Structure 1
């Protein structure tokens, strides 16, 4: 059965998300972000800073460790919360997921979608944003 774009949009608008599964996906995503934060921290520790680096800059960089630890804790918390939630609580998919700007994040949080795994490219090229 082929659905028109209007019918697909209408079907998505009325699709429900199980809250427990969404909370579990949020926990997984927080864990992924914690790992990325730890990788940034390791990469920065390999950089050679000027001998007289400003103390405020050093304190700012140390904040990455706090971010990593908080993300790890929040990931564990959301994973635990997801197992304690009743399985019959549902949220409407579109109003929740449409608030996200990152397509991959929205897909990773959707319990009905397959998680997107971004592979690191080892091309030697670095793209700064």
Structure 2
């Protein structure tokens, strides 16, 4: 999956394990915020009255996902700060497992983070 990686020199680069762990923690915290936004959006939808109670209970699992992401984000931040410095990993074997370009950039300490914008205009498409 080499084509996903943004930096052509990534084949020869190394990642500091503590910095990578910190970036993973930050990404988990970002995903927790996104999960909270999804939970809020679902709660204001009008389908709740006509939806099967079992489906509603299933949707409440989003709260569990949010809490787990928050906890894992805090855990990775703590692991990062306690990790010995100087441990290096080869970047290519680590980052080549990722499919999302934004995630590669956000986890690579040598790249700028990609900030996704909320689009106010346009059509909403359910996946």
Q: TM-score with structure 2 length normalisation?
A: 0.89
Question: How many residues get paired?
Answer: 121
Q: Which residue of 1 aligns with 2:124?
A: 126
Gaps of 5+ in 1: 1-7
Q: 1:96 to 1:57 in 2, by over 3 A?
A: same
CA displacement at 1:53 relative to structure 2: 2.5
Which of 32, 36, 39 is the equivalent residue of 2:37?
39
Coordinate RMSD, CA, aligned: 1.5
Gaps of 5+ in 2: 1-6
Q: Report the secondary structure of 1:51's partner residue.
A: helix
CA displacement at 1:58 relative to structure 2: 1.1
Q: Look at both structures and tell me which one has the larger radius of gyration over its CA atoms.
A: 1
Q: TM-score with structure 1 length normalisation?
A: 0.88
Judge which range, 51-60 or 79-88, deviates more. Answer: 51-60
Which of 101, 104, 121 is the equivalent residue of 1:103?
101
Q: Report the secondary structure of 1:91's partner residue.
A: strand
Please give the per-residue CA displacement for 1:15-71, whole angstroms capped at 9, x wherever unaligned: 100000000000000000000000000000001125352221011110000000000
Query: How many angstroms apart in 1 are the aligned matches of 2:32 and 2:73?
Result: 8
